[in-house]
Structure formats: C-alpha cells, structure tokens
Structure 1
C-alpha cells in the first residue's frame, strides 16, 4: 500500500500555492495530502496542531513571508520531528540566503523562478527519503543505547533468576508490549515459564509448565536453527491449532519469539536453552524489523549471561562439595585415629603376650589371644572398607555390579558367621516366607549392608536378647526386617541416624564410627530400594530394607 505524505505549503502567494499543489498532485511516484498557510504565524499554528496527531512530512517554506522571513520561521519552529523536512523557496538566487537556510535547519533550497514540476517532485521525494534515513539513524542509535544499557543491567548479576527477571522487565519497557517472558525447555521439549513481566489486566503465566506439540516437532527445529517466529495476528497466521489455542489461553493477539541458544563445549555447538518471548495482548501488532533484531540481540546477551550464571552456580556447587569433602576427610582422620587406637592396642597387647609368654600359656589361652588378633584385625579391615565406600559415594564414583542375588542364602551365610562370634546371651534367628528370588544387584555391597545391620543389632544389645531377621518375598519386592532388643535410638535422632558420622546420644562407650548406616542407605538406594527404622529408646530397634524385584526379560 502506497504511503500518503503530508506537505504544508507556507507562502503568501495564492497563485504559487496553487502551482505547487498542481505539480505535486501530478507526481506519478508519490501521493500527497497538501495543507496551506499564507503567513508564518498561520504556518506555525498549523504545524503545531498537526504535530499532536500526525506530524508534517515536508514544509515548502517561502523565504519572504509578510510577517517574518523564512529564517525567522525556522528559529520559531519547535524542535521538529526527525521525519519533517523543510525546503526553502525564494525568488532570489542568493547563495548567502541558501547557506543561511541550510544552517537554520532546511534540507534543500529551490528558486521559484522557472521552477519545473519534475524539479519540485524530485526534490520533495529526495528530502522525504533523507528524513526517513535520518529518522532511522536516530532510531538505531537510540536502540543501540538501550541495548547496551539493558545488556549491562542483565550482566550485572550472576544470579540466574535475577538476570532473567531484569531481562524480561527491561525488554518489555523497550518494546512497549504487554508481556515478555523467558521460557526454559526440558529434555522432552516441554518447558516452564521461569520469568515474566506482564501488563496489569492480562493473565500471568509465571511458573506454568507447558507441553505444546509444536515444540516437539517443527518449532524446535526452527528455533535450534536460530530462526525467530513472527506472528502479527494469531487468528490469521498459519499456526498449529494446539499452539494457537495455547496463545489464546494467555490472551495473546500477536507474538514475537526468538531462541535462547547457549554454546555447549567442547563441541562448540548451539543448544536450545529456551525462548525469549514478546506478546501483544491488546490488539494485533505488525512487528517491525528493528524490533525483531532487538529481541534477537537481547537473546544473545541473555544467553551469555545464562552461561555465566550457570557456570558460577556449578563452580559454587563444586566448591561446596570440595569443602564438604575436605571436612569429611578431616572427620575420617579423626575417626580413624580414635577407632584404630583400641583395636591396635588390643592386637599389640595380645601379640606381645604371645611373644613373651608363649611357653607358659596353655593352648586355650593361646587360641583366645589369636582370636582377639583376628577379631580386631577384621574390625579394622571393615573400618577401612567402610571409609573407602563412603569416600566413593561422596565422589559419586560408587557403582554396582548386576547379578541375581538370593537374599535367603546371603543372610543364612551372614547369620552363621555372626553366631560364631556372638556372645551366648544373643540369640540370632532367621525366618523366611514367600518367593525370595528376583533381586538383582551387587552381592558384595548388599552383604556389607546386612552385615552392618546385623553387627549393629548385636553391638547395641549389650545385655543380649533375641535378634530376629525376617525375609518376606512379596510380588514386586523382598522385605527384610532386622529387629533387636537393644538400647534403641532416641526419637529426635532417628531421622538423622543415616547421615555420615551420626550416632545416637545414648551409645555410651560402645565403639562405632557412624558410617555403617550411611553406607547402608546409599547402597540400598543404588539398588532402587529403601531403608527405614522404627525404634523405642531403651527397648528395641527394627530396621526394614525393601529391595525391588526385577521383572524377567
């Protein structure tokens, strides 16, 4: 559609005004709306009135007006819009007047005498083109200034959510639209709106999770390629029906969407992180080219800020983990120093006794001293094994080997071992029911789990009593209850008992590191199972391990 330009002719000669009107209305390349004024004052009033609605595009200004000169008119003219061009007309071919006119703000200068139609038409078209170019330069400079300002504000914070909140607020102010939001994709191309700035009166979308088939198909491919989606009117655009309904749900009339692409190293490829979206809800909107470029440039700045924020978050997480690991290692050193002291002393004492008094000791005493050395050595070996397992778990390096495990056989083996070393006052019993087959996992790791639980049941029952192990084969899992009649665990401490180095406050002088239950929790979780405790302080404890069965292939 051809643009109609507004021309204001200011000349005290009615004949000249008529001539200019005839020349311009016959221009085959442009259409004009012509307005006339016969004096400078009348021209200024007309210009000011029009400026409030649609500014004048061109002023044809006579140099010699009855109430002022053209130069005086330019001095009184308010700062005109960048698209308003002024052509000075004079009957005198005075170069000094021409220079003064151009310095005063006129874009061109024409002699009235012998003025031809094509000359006037060409000059008017030329100054309009210059004014448009000048307007575009000013607009571009302003856009760059605002872009720089927003980019600086976006990058001021390295906290991701604050960065996103700043971005959507500033972009909405810049584009003067009704809503701007940041949308982050999940791996299945669903996603969540994680930041939003919205005009009052329109529905808020913040926090909503969206599953749109458009994103799973063509939309994702287009965005990954860096293409934007420009929709001036959702009702007339060629949109996926599901996508159109989604936009209508949020009262959207027009939308502008550009991808947020972050760089993935070491491949140096772009990954679709999310979308930066602008919505116009009040009416359809023809998005301008510079607006599309603006949103695209800001998405690039936002992607860089996101990468910096995510890198900082990863660094902070790694630092916290390193600090926790350092504290853990310090605790290990302290624990090892403390826990090794008693068994080492016992081993050293037994060994020295055997070495010094070997000839004077009967066979029973020799065997008893050797049993002490063996028992304490096993205790120390178990302590080292526990330390290594926890260290692997802290480094996320603990892995399991997959093999079928019959828990009935495993627990029978462990119970036999413990019955040999347990005091006569402890009574160990195992009962089974149901089908126990179907558990797949790491035999060595699960053996350590149940060995720790049985050892604890014996150790924390210093007065003896019954230690009962029940194995129940259910349809989808095998459940193991290990119950004792020992000292129990204080209620307030039961939720902490699976943490590293955590022990009940009522253990007194009973030896222990506080690692066994933590290892059990980790190992059972790696097998997809659960471990829980029910305990009454001073009476009993029951630990329950549930391990899932694996469906046969």
Structure 2
C-alpha cells in the first residue's frame, strides 16, 4: 500500500501540449504528495519507456497520434505489464465508454478539463491501490490452486519418497528461492529405503554437491529442529548477517552461501514413550557434534547460547505431538523478508506432508503386523505337525 510522502513516478502518454502543463501544475501544487511526471507524445515511445524504467502508474490518452482503438491500446499495455495501474484520459464524456475502458483493464477514466487537483490525485492513488489489491487476490488464488494441486498429489501418492521430493521441488519453484529441503529430525525406520537412520536430509532441491553428507550441516539442522520445538513456531531469518546467531553459525551459513532461511516444523502425533526414545537418540546425535552444535543458536532475549549438552529442548510439543522434521527454504542470492503468506503456505503444506507420512507409517505398521501374525500362524502349524 501507499505510504505518506511516497514519491510516485507517473508516465503520461499525451500529444496535446496543453494537457501535460495542466497536469504538472495540478500535481506540483501538492505539498503532501510527491509526483515525478514524465511525458511522451506517442504510445510507441511510452512502451519504450516502460521497457527500461519502472513507473507506478500511467496516464493514457486514447487519442494520441499512433493510438489503435482504445481496447487495443490497453491490451498492449496490460498484456506486457499486467500489474501496471492505468488511468485513461479522454475528451469524451461518455459513461458507456468509461465502463468499457474499465472492463479492458484501466483502473479509472477521467474527462479532460473536468477534473481538479484532488480528483486527479485521488484517481492516481486509488488506481495504484486497486491494482495492488487485484494482484494480491490473483496471487492468493494462484497459491490456493497450487496448494490444492500439491495436496492432491500428496494424498494420492503411495510413495513417500515421491511425496517429499515433489514437495521440495514445487516449493522451490513457486517461492523462487535457491534451496529447499526436508530434514528428518529423529531416529527412525526409513520409509524410503528400509534402513535405520538418525537425523538426515530426506529430500532436497537445489542442494550443492556434498551438502547432504556435510556433518556440520547435519548438526546445525538437528539443532534447528530443537529450536522449532522450543519456540513452537516457524523460524524465519530475513538476514543471516544481522540475525542473533553465534559467530560459528554465521560462518557456517556464510560458507554455504545462505543469506536468509525459513524453517517450518512437521509435527507428528504418537505415543509419549516412543517420542521420548527418539528424543534421547537425537540429543545423543547432537552431542557427538558438540563443536558445531553448541554455538549454533543464540537466543535473542537472553543473548546466551540456548542449546548445550543434554539441556536441549525435547522433541515433544506442548500438545503432545513430536517433531518429525522440518521443511526448510534457503535464499542464497540475497537477504529476503519472508512474507506472511509464504509462512502460511509452507505451514499448510507441512501439515499435509505430516498427514501423508503418518498414513504411510500406519500402513507400513499394519503390513508388518500382518506379516508377524502370519509368521506366528505358520510356526504354530509347524509345531502341530511335529506332534
């Protein structure tokens, strides 16, 4: 949204020499609003300006010398710059024409000679704000469609590895970030390859060679899981260089070319005894990498390291759920202020991943139980035959 005293750069496409002077006088007489007006005499020149410069809005006269029909002029601009706010200027006071240009994509229509200073400024401000709202709604609808598509894929897939890998790939593409991974925090029986593992990266997209095998990365990720449990919320760092982290952690992230990071927990329900066992296993795993782990997180409130030895927070949340792992995205190209919709998007996705993982584990547990019962039945039959 617009802020007070924000300087707005406006492109005026107008070949009537008197109109630019009038608009400059109207905009220049305002002390509370700042405008930088650039005037061109043709649509072709205006398109050229838009290709090399960014403008906050366009004032467009539909009767310039090289004008097409009104709808085509707007189609040219909206086709190439769909989020560009456009206010149409016209000599014709026609309600039908005004409604038509709004349908074609303009945000407002003003009749030359019939608007004063306040109306012109209001039209520009409203055009920009309405266009921003439209774009926000469009992006929201796009996110909802993508989220629905990803959720449907998660629910329909029977392969856990496929679920996790497709999730990180689609998240990376949609958020336009550099690296995305899913990290499994606790000791577990892998649904992917049947081997017993401790904390590990189970899916990743955009990860450089050797990233998964790096023990310092594993220690840092393991400790980050504990931080998620302690905070019971998302960990979002917009700028690693200014975040309240210990020096060794910043060095580690800098070496990995990580400028910003966001981590969302993946919770999983389960019995307390199993969660306690996996918690102890993870604490032991972190203690093995104490040099890298003990200085990883620097608590913002106290200014003291918050993860040392067995004082690490448990993997059990207040609601009794345990932390299965986390979905993490890294920005390497520069700092990034993570938006609330990005956090909400990742949280919704993490919840669906958690559901799919639980369903897969229940199914696998059922198969193992069935095999165990069949084995016992065969054993009994064998005993009977011996007698």
TM-score range, shorter chain: 0.7 to 0.9
CA contact (8 A) 2:212 2:218 kept: no
Match of 1:196 among 178, 182, 204: 204
Q: Residues 229, 30 of structure 1: CA spacing in aligned structure 2 closer, same or farther, 3 A cutoff?
A: farther
The count of aligned residue pairs is 327
User: What's the counterpart of residue 271 of structure 1?
Assistant: 322
Q: Shift in Å at residue 161 of structure 1?
A: 2.9
Q: Residues 4, 288 of structure 1: CA spacing in aligned structure 2 closer, same or farther, 3 A cutoff?
A: farther
Alpha-carbon distance in 1 for matches of 2:225, 2:356: 26
Paired residue secondary structure (1:64): coil
User: What's the counterpart of residue 163 of structure 2?
Assistant: 163
Paired residue secondary structure (2:321): strand
CA contact (8 A) 2:8 2:36 kept: yes
Alpha-carbon distance in 2 for matches of 1:234, 1:183: 20
* Large movers: runs of 4+ above 6 Å: 265-268
CA contact (8 A) 2:225 2:325 kept: no
Q: Shift in Å at residue 139 of structure 1?
A: 0.8
CA contact (8 A) 1:158 1:308 kept: no
Note the 1:39-438 alignment, pairs <5 A. Answer: 39-47=42-50, 49-50=51-52, 54=54, 56-68=55-67, 70-77=70-77, 79-186=79-186, 191-199=199-207, 201=208, 203-205=210-212, 210-212=218-220, 214-215=223-224, 218-222=227-231, 225=232, 227-241=233-247, 243-264=249-270, 269-335=320-386, 337=387
Note the 1:465-544 alignment, pairs <5 A. Answer: none
Q: Shift in Å at residue 259 of structure 1?
A: 0.6
1:10 maps onto 2:40 in alignment:
no
User: What's the counterpart of residue 340 of structure 1?
Assistant: none
CA contact (8 A) 1:198 1:204 kept: no
Q: Residues 215, 65 of structure 1: CA spacing in aligned structure 2 closer, same or farther, 3 A cutoff?
A: closer
Q: TM-score, normalised by structure 2?
A: 0.74
CA displacement, residues 148-206 of structure 1 (integer Å, 9 cap, x when unaligned)? 1222223333333332222222222222222111112227xx8322222225x565226
Alpha-carbon distance in 1 for matches of 2:225, 2:326: 14
Q: Residues 60, 272 of structure 1: CA spacing in aligned structure 2 closer, same or farther, 3 A cutoff?
A: same
Paired residue secondary structure (1:282): coil
Paired residue secondary structure (1:16): helix
Q: Shift in Å at residue 130 of structure 1?
A: 0.4
Alpha-carbon distance in 1 for matches of 2:336, 2:210: 19
Larger radius of gyration: 1
- Mind listing any 5+ residue stretches in structure 1 that lack a counterpart? 338-553
Alpha-carbon distance in 1 for matches of 2:31, 2:343: 33
Q: TM-score, normalised by structure 1?
A: 0.54
Larger RCO (CA within 8 A; separation ≥ 6): 2
CA contact (8 A) 2:225 2:265 kept: no
Q: Shift in Å at residue 292 of structure 1?
A: 1.8
CA contact (8 A) 1:262 1:271 kept: yes
Alpha-carbon distance in 1 for matches of 2:169, 2:341: 19
CA contact (8 A) 2:228 2:265 kept: no
Alpha-carbon distance in 2 for matches of 1:215, 1:76: 49
- Mind listing any 5+ residue stretches in structure 2 that lack a counterpart? 188-197, 273-317
CA displacement, residues 33-58 of structure 1 (integer Å, 9 cap, x when unaligned)? 432211233334434x24xx64x432
